[in-house]
Amino acid sequence: MTQTRIIIGVLPDLAEPRPGSPRMECAMAYADAIVRAGGVPVVLPPVVELIPSQLELCRGVVLTGGDDPRTEMFGEPTHSMAKPMHSRRQEYEVALLRALESRPDVPVLGVCLGMQLMALCAGGRLNQHMPDDVPTAADHAGNAQHPLRIEAGDHALSRCMADGGGQSCPVTSHHRQAVRDAGRLRVVARAPDGVIEAIDDPARPFYLGVQWHPERTAHAGAGLALFEALVAAARGA
């Protein structure tokens, strides 16, 4: 018997080629991964007042990659080399993450920017310009591949890696900022140079942020397995 597919909300980027006319954009790779994992991807317009209805519709949420957070919202100036994300997108995604605090049953996967916002909303901090103090910053840019160092223990990422074929694999990275302090969240993976690569909330069934791009990562354990775990958690929610 074929399982009924469940709806997974996907957060789009906002681009504004003409002032005052923002448009939503979402890479098909996210949708393809969710479909392969057994879900139905639905792009969620960044409208704050719709969040309660969106969380009633969706059984899980994917926070996608994008530009850099505007850190004034979190008590720090934005680095001069940052490429700030659209303010409307940030306002919406922060409001959504706040709303999800009272909905721990909703599984969440944060990718790149998504992970960074998860950390900031949990009281964490960012390294806003890795080239300033990470000599290997180039290893994380331009869709470069590097291995992971998975923290020991039972957590969402270790289970994904085990199901996907191992505890170490190359991942695809493209970022100039990184989580420096995960706040209330737990660090569950790092790159060989110590850069934080994954965080989770042990108090929730599935609340995982990864700095790499699983939708672009060929290795099953660090790629498709993350979306499969999200969909599986959403089925059980």
Q: Is pLDDT of 235 > 90? A: yes
Q: Is pLDDT of 17 > 80? A: yes
What residues does 187 pair with on adjacent strands? 199
Determine the pLDDT at residue 120.
98
CATH class of domain segment(s) 6-236: alpha beta
Report, as an integer, the average pLDDT of 181-202.
94
Report the mean per-residue pLDDT for the chain.
90
What residues does 173 pair with on adjacent strands? 144
**List 140, 155, 175, 213, catalytic entry:** 213
Question: What whole-number percentage of the chain has pLDDT above 90?
Answer: 68
- Minimal CA–CA distance to 227: which of 51, 96, 90, 61? 61
Question: What whole-number percentage of the chain has pLDDT above 70?
Answer: 92
Q: Is pLDDT of 58 > 70? A: yes
Determine the pLDDT at residue 164.
43
Q: Hey, is 77 helix, strand or coil?
A: coil
pTM (predicted TM-score): 0.93
Q: Is pLDDT of 167 > 60? A: no
Q: Is 213 a catalytic residue?
A: yes
Determine the pLDDT at residue 132.
84
Minimum mean pLDDT range among 90-94, 118-122, 158-162:
158-162
Contact 62, 9 (CB under 8 A): yes
Determine the pLDDT at residue 166.
46
Domains of the chain: which residue ranges?
Answer: 6-236
Determine the pLDDT at residue 44.
99
In this structure, the strands spanning 125-127 and 178-181 are: antiparallel
Q: Which element (helix H / strand E) includes 25?
A: strand 23-25
**List 112, 121, 160, 169, catalytic entry:** 112
Instruction: Output 180 or 146, whichever has higher pLDDT.
Output: 180
Q: Is 215 a catalytic residue?
A: yes
Q: Which element (helix H / strand E) includes 116?
A: helix 113-121
Dihedral sign, CA of 163, 165, 166, 169? negative
Beta-carbon contacts of residue 236 (< 8 Å; ≥ 6 apart): 205
- Rounding to the nearest 10 degrees, give the CA dihedral for residues 151, 152, 155, 157: 50
DSSP type of residue 129: -
Give the whole-angstrom CA distance, residue 139 versus residue 5. 37
Determine the pLDDT at residue 158.
86
Could you read off the pLDDT of 148-157 as tens digits, one per residue? 888 888 888 8
Contact 187, 172 (CB under 8 A): no
**List 155, 215, 219, 228, catalytic entry:** 215
Determine the pLDDT at residue 198.
95
Contact 203, 185 (CB under 8 A): no
Contact 229, 177 (CB under 8 A): no
Q: Is pLDDT of 215 > 80? A: yes
What backbone phi and psi angles, to 5 degrees, belong to 151?
Answer: -70, 145
Q: Hey, is 32 helix, strand or coil?
A: helix
Could you read off the pLDDT of 114-128 as tens digits, one per residue? 999 999 999 999 989
